[in-house]
């Protein structure tokens, strides 16, 4: 099997949109696991793409968590992380939202893989991420805090709202560097200039760049088992150590050993690295019809 899978081949089939104002009341929402995407009606592109379904959660319950965007005060970041941004868009845009669903048969790892594909496909088509993904906020608004006992006890819980000073949530996103690419071990995968492959051992890691960036890890069959971002030496050393543990990720690494890594450095702030990491995860899913073996399992 070669080339990238189509969305239909991996099970991404979106239903026709319904009004979000009705969906938050449970109208026309399937009570199953799956993906969902939200946008202002008439918008070219989407404002948020997410997935849900672990435990007792399903799409209907998840939509109910967005009722707060229709109240007078900005909702907290939980129970739904996109609530503050959607509230702000509703205040500034003056238009209604619609939501589309994609029921998914599979576990949380598979839904997260399909979520990454949906976001990456959006980025390829529109040259940007959905408006409210990756912790983004519309200009002129500050995001609410979370809502839990620790924040309340420390007097750090707060409602967001109009706010003129820029914050990290207002920094621009990073468009895709290149097209999604099936050559997951190639030197120019997804448009990046990747370093040469090195064994995932302390001596090689210690000689790697000390800055932030993206990295990929593969195994003896030259199939990517993990894609990550962050402080490169620290993250790679953590993975090398995890191989010796009984954690699910450690077991996945051991099954693929011996491991090697390749990396890129860049000036991207964390939310931009997360955008580019999502592109890479999606490319792996589309190339191999499954997510990297150690992805999403901690």
User: For residues 155-189, b (16+ Cβ closer than 10 Å) or e, as one string?
Assistant: eebeebbebeeeeebbeebbebbeebbbebeeeeb
Structural domains in the chain, sorted by start: 8-170 (3.40.1440.10), 189-288 (3.40.1440.10)
Q: Which residues are within 8 A (CB) of 240 and not within 5 positions of it... i.e. 6 or more apart?
A: 200, 201, 202, 205, 259
pLDDT of res. 84: 98
Q: Report the candidate in 108, 100, 102 with the shortest Cα–Cα distance to residue 48.
A: 100
User: Which residues, listed in sequence order, are joined to residue 90 by a DSSP beta bridge?
Assistant: none
Q: Report the candidate in 189, 227, 232, 242 with the shortest Cα–Cα distance to residue 207.
A: 232
Mean pLDDT of 221-249: 95
Length of the chain measured in residues:
298
Give the number of other CB atoms < 10 A from CB of residue 97: 24
Distance between CA atoms of residues 223 and 183, nearest Å: 10
**Mean pLDDT for the chain?**
96
Q: What is the pLDDT of residues 178-211, one digit of tens each?
A: 999 999 999 999 999 999 999 999 999 999 998 9
Q: Which residues are within 8 A (CB) of 103 and not within 5 positions of it... i.e. 6 or more apart?
A: 30, 32, 33, 34, 59
Q: Is the pTM of this model over 0.85?
A: yes
pLDDT of res. 67: 97
Mean pLDDT of 36-56: 95
pLDDT of res. 279: 98
pLDDT of res. 61: 97
pLDDT of res. 94: 74
Q: What is the pLDDT of residues 74-127, one digit of tens each?
A: 999 999 999 999 999 999 877 899 999 999 999 999 999 999 999 999 999 999
Residue whose entry in the numeric block shows the structure tokens 């790892």: 109
Give the number of other CB atoms < 10 A from CB of residue 13: 11
Distance between CA atoms of residues 31 and 276, nearest Å: 32
Q: What is the pLDDT of residues 134-143, one digit of tens each?
A: 999 999 999 9
């Amino acid at each position: 099997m070669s080339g990238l899978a189509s969305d239909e081949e991996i099970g991404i089939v979106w239903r026709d949109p319904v009004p979000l104002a009705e969906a938050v009341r449970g109208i026309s929402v399937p009570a199953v696991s799956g993906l969902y995407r939200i946008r202002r009606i008439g918008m070219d592109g989407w404002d948020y793409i997410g997935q849900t379904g672990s435990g007792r959660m399903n799409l209907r319950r998840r939509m109910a968590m967005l009722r707060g965007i229709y109240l007078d005060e900005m909702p907290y970041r939980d129970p739904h992380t996109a609530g503050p941004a959607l509230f702000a868009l509703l205040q500034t845009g003056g238009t209604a939202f619609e939501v589309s669903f994609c029921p998914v048969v599979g576990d949380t790892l598979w839904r997260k893989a399909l979520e990454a594909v949906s976001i990456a496909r959006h980025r390829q088509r529109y040259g940007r991420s959905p408006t409210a993904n990756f912790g983004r906020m519309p200009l002129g608004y500050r995001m609410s805090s979370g809502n839990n006992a620790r924040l309340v006890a420390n007097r750090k819980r707060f409602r967001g709202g109009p706010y003129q000073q820029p914050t990290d949530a207002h920094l621009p996103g990073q468009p895709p560097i290149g097209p999604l690419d099936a050559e997951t071990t190639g030197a120019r995968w997804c448009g990046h200039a990747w370093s040469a492959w090195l064994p995932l051992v302390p001596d090689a890691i210690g000689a790697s760049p000390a800055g932030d960036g993206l990295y990929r890890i593969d195994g003896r069959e030259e199939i990517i088992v993990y894609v990550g971002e962050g402080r490169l030496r620290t993250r790679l050393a953590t993975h090398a150590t995890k191989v010796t543990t009984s954690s699910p990720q450690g077991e996945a690494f051991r099954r693929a050993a011996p491991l090697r890594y390749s990396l890129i450095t860049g000036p991207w702030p964390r939310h931009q690295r997360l955008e580019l990491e999502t592109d890479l995860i999606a490319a792996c899913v589309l190339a191999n019809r499954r997510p990297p073996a150690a992805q999403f399992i901690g």
